[in-house]
Amino acid sequence: MGFFDSIHNAAGQSAGSHSETVTLTALPQNLSELQAMPQADLQSPYGTVALAIAALCRYPQSVEDCVQMLDFLRGPRPLSPMDKQFLRDRFMEQKYVPISYFEGTSPQNDYTPSVPYRITVKRNPYSAQGEDFLTLYVHSSGADSDRIVEVRRKPSTGQWFLWEVKCLSGIRVPVSADPWA
């Protein structure tokens, strides 16, 4: 089996470009709600990314619930104190960044998503970072370029765990909060 064949088997897709739209009927409010979602089996890297974005949406209302969900999605590597500080820093001013990844959002509608919640997660020919790591991309309606979420596969279970969140950079301010709009 060659390198690209192993990536095909690990990610369930070829090594080329691919996208999947994941639909969530609701955004989880706590760990038990997240674990009840079909994507919580973590068998799809796309589902893991969608759940991570959904969990991040909870941060402004409950840091504790968000952290518990992220710890579950990270598997044997829970958030470190530095990771938690990073989240605090990112959410100080732009609490709406995670919700901007769902369909129907825009700065004009204050990043109000369509329901059910849909998020498209993409890979490109360079997404594979070794056999068990993938760099995936999500698009914010408030940004010009896609943002990164990295996942790692645990070979013994085939599950895809959250590795790095690189999608919390600033985006356009909602029109209602923009004094220059």
Per-residue model confidence as pLDDT tens digits over 31-70: 999 999 999 999 999 999 999 999 999 999 999 999 999 9
Under a CB-based contact definition with an 8 Å cutoff, are residues 90 and 97 in contact? yes
Residue 107 to residues 97, 135, 137, 176, Cα–Cα distance (Å): 11, 26, 20, 8
Q: Which of 70, 112, 118, 120 is nearest to 90 (CA)?
A: 70
How far apart (Å, rounded) are the C-alpha atoms in residues 112 and 42? 27
pLDDT value at 17 more than 90: yes
pLDDT value at 7 more than 80: no
pLDDT-derived band at 4 (thresholds 50, 70, 90) equals very low
Under a CB-based contact definition with an 8 Å cutoff, are residues 67 and 84 in contact? yes
pLDDT-derived band at 9 (thresholds 50, 70, 90) equals very low
Q: Cβ atoms within 10 A of the Cβ of 37, count? A: 18
Count helices and strands (H / E) in the chain.
5, 5
The token duo for 77 is: 């590597």
Average pLDDT over residues 153-177: 96
How far apart (Å, rounded) are the C-alpha atoms in residues 79 and 119? 24
Residue in this structure with the two tokens 């706590």, named with its chain if needed: 30
